[in-house]
Amino acid sequence: MRYLLDTNIISDARRGNRTPVGSWIAAQRIDDLAISAITVLELDVGVRRKERRDARAGSVLRQWFDEQVSEVFDRRILAVDAEVAVQASQLHVPDAMPDMDSLIAGTALAHSLTLVTRNVADFANTGVRLLNPWED
The string of pLDDT tens digits covering residues 100-109 is 999 999 999 9
**Which segments within the chain are labelled E, that is strand?**
3-5, 33-36, 77-78, 114-116, 130-131
What pLDDT, on a 0 to 100 scale, did the predictor assign at position 16? 77
**Which segments within 6-83 are labelled E, that is strand?**
33-36, 77-78
What mean pLDDT value characterizes the chain?
Answer: 95
What pLDDT, on a 0 to 100 scale, did the predictor assign at position 45? 98
Please tell me the distance from the alpha carbon of residue 76 to that of residue 9, in angstroms, as a whole number: 15
Residue numbering of the annotated binding site for Mg(2+): 6, 101
Please tell me the distance from the alpha carbon of residue 60 to that of residue 96, in angstroms, as a whole number: 37
Counting residues of the chain whose pLDDT is more than 70, the rounded percentage is: 99
Res. 20 pLDDT band, cuts 50 70 90: confident
Please tell me the distance from the alpha carbon of residue 33 to that of residue 59, in angstroms, as a whole number: 26
Question: Class of the 3-131 domain?
Answer: alpha beta
pLDDT in tens, 51-78: 999 999 999 999 999 999 999 999 999 9
What pLDDT, on a 0 to 100 scale, did the predictor assign at position 59? 97
What pLDDT, on a 0 to 100 scale, did the predictor assign at position 8? 96
Segment holding 5, helix H or strand E: strand 3-5
Whether residue 94 has a cis bond before it, omega within 30° of 0: yes
Asked if residue 33 has pLDDT above 80, the reply is: yes
Asked if residue 39 has pLDDT above 90, the reply is: yes
Locate the domains of the chain by residue range: 3-131
Mean pLDDT, to the nearest integer, of 1-24?
Answer: 90
User: Could you tell me if 34 and 3 are in contact, meaning their C-beta atoms sit under 8 angstroms apart?
Assistant: yes
User: Could you tell me if 38 and 80 are in contact, meaning their C-beta atoms sit under 8 angstroms apart?
Assistant: yes
